[in-house]
């Protein structure tokens, strides 16, 4: 599976603390090996986010992505409160 990052995702990622950015890169490496590794807590979202999946980055930070063909397109990252408002 290939990876892509939406422009808004990149902006949101760079606004996060450096430590959280590093944790995202660590989890992204794991995601490329096994997107469903239990530590990522990968799950489908429902409601107005149907078609989007979420992985855990830290206790409160999540990254959202969509599968388009054979590409995982990361569309948003942030705290639980920011993403699910």
Q: What domains lie within the chain, and their CATH numbers? A: 2-83 (3.30.2310.20)
Cα distance between residue 7 and residue 30, in whole Å: 22
Residue 46 has pLDDT above 90, yes or no: yes
State the pLDDT confidence band at 5, using cuts at 50, 70 and 90: very high
Scanning the chain, the segments in alpha helix (DSSP H) are: 7-15, 18-33, 80-83
Q: What is the pLDDT of residue 85?
A: 78
CA angle, 29 as apex, 23 and 31 as ends, to 5°?
100
Cα distance between residue 19 and residue 85, in whole Å: 24
Residue 84 has pLDDT above 90, yes or no: no
Q: What is the pLDDT of residue 16?
A: 96
* Each residue's pLDDT tens digit, 17-29: 999 999 999 999 9
Residue 1 has pLDDT above 90, yes or no: no
């Amino acid at each position: 599976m290939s990876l892509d990052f939406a422009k808004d995702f990149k902006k949101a990622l760079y606004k996060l603390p450096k430590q959280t950015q590093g944790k995202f890169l660590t989890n992204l490496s794991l995601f490329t090996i096994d997107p469903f590794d239990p530590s990522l807590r990968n799950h489908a979202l429902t409601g107005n986010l149907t078609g989007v999946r979420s992985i855990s980055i830290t206790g409160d930070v999540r990254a959202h992505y969509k599968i388009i063909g054979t590409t995982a397109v990361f569309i948003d990252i942030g705290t639980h409160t920011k993403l699910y408002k």
